[in-house]
Amino acid sequence: MRSLIDIQELSPEEIDRLIAVADDIIENPGKYAHKCEGKKLATLFFEPSTRTRLSFEAAMYDLGGHVLGFSEAQSSSSAKGESVADTVRTVSYYADIIAMRHPKEGAPMVAAMNCDIPIINAGDGGHNHPTQTLTDLLTIKREKGRFDNLTIGFCGDLKFGRTVHSLIGAMSRYKNVRMVLISPDELKIPDYVKQTVLDEKGIEYTETNSLDEAMSGLDILYMTRVQRERFFNEQDYIRLKDSYVLTPEKLKTAKSDLAIMHPLPRVNEISVAVDKDSRACYFKQVKNGKFIRMALIMMLLGVE
Ligand code: CP
């Protein structure tokens, strides 16, 4: 029984296949309308979500399947102290596949070890978010036409940003990819990501505090939110939250074919004035998320 806990569990060839299926779903949605008839997806969200949970649910409905689940821990028996292991074992008697978000790093892995239906990690604390990465990869492929020979700037909260950690892991497997890591000192990329991914794969990268200095060299700018919910100290959050605010003015030195990405939700880090810029891709990411999740659900359920 195959789960998806970390993006590295998918080979580049499998990612190519998922992207090809997602592209085909976009072109021919009717072909897929009955692929998961009789199947049930459970969405177990112990942390808030708009895009991930609703795109999973829309994906399953568009495949002809059904959805059950909860959108906050307080409405499940985890509020009474039930363990993740007992929760997923219970749900495995009612559903065929589970998408799970949890504030604790490693919780989806514990879930996968304790039930015999596929578990999809829909975000675990500050660790990983593999289906956001699939969404990002589909968007990069559709916007840039390639994964090789790209310079990607990651900007904002690189310490707790699980979408950043997952996308760095995925992009580090392609040729001639350079990364510019733009953050305040307090929110730099964790050492374990540097050692086990960037150094291990020999990726060329630089760390800087300055988005302005990095801008002109980037093919992709991946903005992120400074996440209030990951801070222990409100004062630190307030001091760091507006470290980077992307405006049309700041994009003056950017390439004409820059792809501006953001996993969303945004708070203040991209001005709404940027939404009109043809290089803004963040709502395309939102749209692509449903199609790649449809492809993933079919793959994990063994649906041809
Ligand atoms: N990108 C993302 O995970 O968004 P949600 O928190 O709304 O699911």
Same fold for the pair 7-128+287-301 and 131-285: yes
Write the DSSP string, the chain. Answer: ---BSSGGGS-HHHHHHHHHHHHHHHH-GGGGTTTTTT-EEEEEESS--SHHHHHHHHHHHHTT-EEEEESSGGGSGGGGT--HHHHHHHHTTT-SEEEEEESSTTHHHHHHHT-SS-EEEEEETTTB-HHHHHHHHHHHHHHHS-SSS-EEEEES-TTT-HHHHHHHHHHTTSTT-EEEEE--GGGPPPHHHIIIIIITTT-EEEEES-HHHHGGG-SEEEE----GGG-S-HHHHHHHTTS--B-TGGGGGS-TT-EEE--S--SSSB-GGGGGSTTB-HHHHHHHHHHHHHHHHHHHHT--
**Residue-level pLDDT at 228:** 81
Give mean pLDDT, residues 55-70.
98
Judged against a pLDDT cut of 80, whether residue 283 lies above it is answered with yes
Tell me whether residue 51 is one of the annotated catalytic residues: yes
Catalytic residue among 39, 53, 129, 293: 129
Atom of ligand 1 nearest to the CA of 54: 8
Give mean pLDDT, residues 164-180.
97
Q: How confident is the model at residue 117 (pLDDT cuts 50, 70, 90)?
A: very high
Judged against a pLDDT cut of 90, whether residue 46 lies above it is answered with yes
Judged against a pLDDT cut of 80, whether residue 126 lies above it is answered with yes
Q: How confident is the model at residue 231 (pLDDT cuts 50, 70, 90)?
A: confident
Give mean pLDDT, residues 222-251.
88
Give mean pLDDT, residues 45-74.
98
Give the residue with greater pLDDT, 234 vs 301.
Answer: 301
**Residue-level pLDDT at 95:** 98
Tell me whether residue 52 is one of the annotated catalytic residues: yes
**Residue-level pLDDT at 181:** 98
CA 273–ligand 1 middle distance (angstroms): 22
CATH domain 7-128+287-301 topology: Rossmann fold (3.40.50)
Check if CATH label 3.40.50.1370 holds for domain 131-285.
yes
What's the predicted TM-score (pTM) here?
Answer: 0.96
- In tens, the pLDDT along 185-197 reads 999 999 999 999 9
Break the chain into its structural domains and give their ranges: 7-128+287-301, 131-285
Q: How confident is the model at residue 240 (pLDDT cuts 50, 70, 90)?
A: confident
Atom of ligand 1 nearest to the CA of 50: 7
Tell me whether residue 80 is one of the annotated catalytic residues: yes
Question: What is the average pLDDT value for the chain, to the nearest integer?
Answer: 96
Judged against a pLDDT cut of 80, whether residue 155 lies above it is answered with yes
Q: How confident is the model at residue 234 (pLDDT cuts 50, 70, 90)?
A: confident
Task: Report which protein residue has its CA nearest ligand 1's atom 1.
Answer: 263
Judged against a pLDDT cut of 80, whether residue 232 lies above it is answered with no
**Residue-level pLDDT at 237:** 83
Task: Report which protein residue has its CA nearest ligand 1's atom 6.
Answer: 49
**Residue-level pLDDT at 233:** 84
Judged against a pLDDT cut of 90, whether residue 10 lies above it is answered with yes
